[in-house]
Structure 1
């Protein structure tokens, strides 16, 4: 695959920026809003904690596997580039199509939808304002990302540092001022299927998702063969530790039955209980900023996939979508395109349902990429980074990916058919676009 795009995009992101993008993109709404749903699926606090740890381990093995692949292909486009180089143009296109039409806009809409819940409570507004506030936030962050990539990267660093404050407060308060045993709490009277560890782990993976997006900026990272693997691996490890501590802290502070009743409002309730109305609002503001950082990381990265596909003339309107601003080298049209699709999904989908379908769709292609490490090992002898404990780490990541796919198919077959249908629609579009450009 050609990589001429690297002559136009700026390689200006160092390890601090890359690591901040990984951590900032992962830590968003999931850990704050998924505690209730993970508990409901797991059936007990012990199994819920195990679910968060399992989700982190699956994500870490995935990150270690992709780190080896990404170090060999440090190009703009990430997963789209990997799949094409390993499996060919058609599967490569479908992986890119999935990210720019389904996964990217849906994940942005989902995080913004969760964020708007806090924003409505923060400003004391009615639920009518949830979607308008989420749309305004997406548009504002999108406008910022129309500038040079350093601006979006700097915002990621600032928000990543800022989000550590509410996280630290929740962990300290729960661990040292909580009076409940984090292990062994059970719940009853739930209408959902309890004791289903598979569904619980699936819910946690939304909280861990986003780590691979740094690979889409491969063409803008300094010394990507070294820094890309470091950013992915250490970013996931940091998040795994933080998520485990937050989950234990939440169960220390509140009984499982109350967490079940509060659902998405669990963390907001803890904030108001500990710090009162003003302190609770300040903590909620920190969490809102955290989610803004996550949205920023996703709006920073997904347009790069659009740009990479447009450079290859794989999608309609490739010429405008591949446009970069002369000075800042920012893909402004591609960014606008992602914002519009995210807004549409925000209006028509529930954020919680959307989050699970996002994870399922992207893991279909993650799993293909995980298999690809065995293919690349046969092709290439030189590897800037080698996955440790090969082949066991890649095999765990593959089984983790298959586990996600099967769990979601069994849990929500109708949603799976809908999202897979949107992905498959990309095939005739691919052939029509290629035919159009051949005739010109």
Structure 2
């Protein structure tokens, strides 16, 4: 008998505005501000760098359109974890959830916080030794905020999303209208050297676009999810695609490619000061820091929901505690603490750039499986669906091709990192076996006690 989704206990309090703010706020974080140099180096010239951001956005949009149809049919807390389990069974579903709560979620939070701390140390004039402490304090503060009712985190998402539009608008307007460089046609010779290729450049942009699917983890807390979830995903990704393209053109208009290559991760901080002076640069940097805090907030709001969903199915050790919700706010406080601890550990052992690339690879393994799922659901459910992906089957096919491209590119460019992260995911199998074994013993013990009582 097929396992039914768990009974929802969280509050359906999030409307389209909150959902859209979470999508945009979760996507626009560190990637667009810190990946300009690496995308340019890999692409080889400025024209191909701009194209890489556009292609990355189109691939993300096809993925979003595909998942929108799937998510509208499974509007439950847990998102990708629930989708994979319903499509491929218990084991694959568990691995999808395990990947997100042990690898992807904590790593992506640690990565964004690590990038943010670079700006924070520059902003406060501190040495590099302060980067990790500042990142850890930020994670703790935002995690604590998300231990209250989901409206608190959603409200913070709305505020930071509006706040991040200020530095974005400033960069776009200043670069486009006051920049003196031609954004197109700056060649490899001006960059001095190029690493990777166009495929690697697109892969780097996908970190900047990643996070759109996290709204699906809140499926059990969204009002009218069959309608709102697809709208939030599609409108959000489209808006980000336009914003990212404009930012890239603006940066290339204001700074020559050779300087972006030299500055690397410090490109945005330098641009802010050069364009607006010391005070204006500080204000712009503050806006970008707030933007990144909003991204961390979106991830801290969504990933504990996966932990909660898995714990409700008794798929994790200590599920009884991880599934705990506060009586009034219905907030998964223990699950949130769990994510905070893992993110802090990863922060101490990995640099943010490496984490960002490996995060994309790990999650795309399961994204690609989910993309195939649209064909399974069409066969299983026929025409009974709240939302239909346009241009079917071409949109899902492009999404699948993009997913395969990401996986192959990362295997070629970082085989050691791929093996490490796959190994961590596979470790989940014996964990599942042990958890189920202990759960079975607990049930048998309870039945024996009940039978003994009946005999008495």
Q: For 1:124 and 1:351, how far apart are their aligned partners in 2?
A: 21
Q: Secondary structure at the match of 2:185?
A: coil
What's the CA shift for 1:4? 3.3
Q: For 2:169 and 2:5, how far apart are their aligned partners in 1?
A: 42
Q: Secondary structure at the match of 1:184?
A: coil
Asked whether the equivalents of residues 323 and 333 of structure 1 are also in contact (C-alpha less than 8 Å), the reply is yes
Q: For 1:238 and 1:14, how far apart are their aligned partners in 2?
A: 18
Q: For 1:77 and 1:415, how far apart are their aligned partners in 2?
A: 27
Q: For 1:422 and 1:192, how far apart are their aligned partners in 2?
A: 32
Partner of 1:105: 106
Q: For 2:126 and 2:7, how far apart are their aligned partners in 1?
A: 45
What's the CA shift for 1:275? 1.1
The change in CA–CA distance for 1:387 and 1:343 in structure 2 (over 3 A counts) is same
Q: For 1:266 and 1:191, how far apart are their aligned partners in 2?
A: 17
What's the CA shift for 1:191? 5.5
Q: Secondary structure at the match of 1:386?
A: coil
Matched, 1:149 2:143: no
Query: Gaps (5+ residues) in structure 1?
Result: none
Matches within 5 A, 1:340-379: 340-379=341-380
**Number of residue-to-residue matches in the alignment:** 438
What's the CA shift for 1:190? 5.0
Q: After the TM superposition, list the runs of 4 or more consecutive aligned residues in structure 1 that deviate by more than 2 angstroms.
A: 1-5, 187-194
What's the CA shift for 1:274? 1.3
Q: For 1:235 and 1:51, how far apart are their aligned partners in 2?
A: 19
396, 399, 414: which one aligns with 2:398:
396
Matched, 1:415 2:417: yes
Asked whether the equivalents of residues 114 and 351 of structure 1 are also in contact (C-alpha less than 8 Å), the reply is yes
Partner of 2:387: 385
Matches within 5 A, 1:30-429: 30-188=31-189, 190=192, 193-194=195-196, 196-381=197-382, 382-429=384-431
Query: Gaps (5+ residues) in structure 2?
Result: 443-456
Q: Deviations over 1:295-350 (max 9, x none)?
A: 00000000000000000000100000000000100000000000000000011001
TM-score, normalised on structure 1? 0.99
Q: Deviations over 1:205-241 (max 9, x none)?
A: 0000000000000000000000000000000000000
What's the CA shift for 1:439? 0.5
Asked whether the equivalents of residues 109 and 346 of structure 1 are also in contact (C-alpha less than 8 Å), the reply is yes
Q: For 2:369 and 2:193, how far apart are their aligned partners in 1?
A: 35
Q: For 1:342 and 1:104, how far apart are their aligned partners in 2?
A: 8
Q: Secondary structure at the match of 1:4?
A: coil
Q: Pick the structure with greater CA Rg.
A: 2
Q: For 2:5 and 2:290, how far apart are their aligned partners in 1?
A: 35
Asked whether the equivalents of residues 76 and 220 of structure 2 are also in contact (C-alpha less than 8 Å), the reply is yes
Q: CA RMSD in A?
A: 0.8
Q: For 1:288 and 1:270, how far apart are their aligned partners in 2?
A: 15
What's the CA shift for 1:38? 0.2
Asked whether the equivalents of residues 112 and 134 of structure 1 are also in contact (C-alpha less than 8 Å), the reply is yes
What's the CA shift for 1:257? 0.3
Q: Secondary structure at the match of 2:328?
A: coil
Q: Deviations over 1:222-280 (max 9, x none)?
A: 00000000000000000000000000000000110000000011111111011111110
TM-score, normalised on structure 2? 0.95
Q: Deviations over 1:99-136 (max 9, x none)?
A: 00000000000000000000000000000000000000
What's the CA shift for 1:186? 1.4
Q: For 1:348 and 1:291, how far apart are their aligned partners in 2?
A: 21
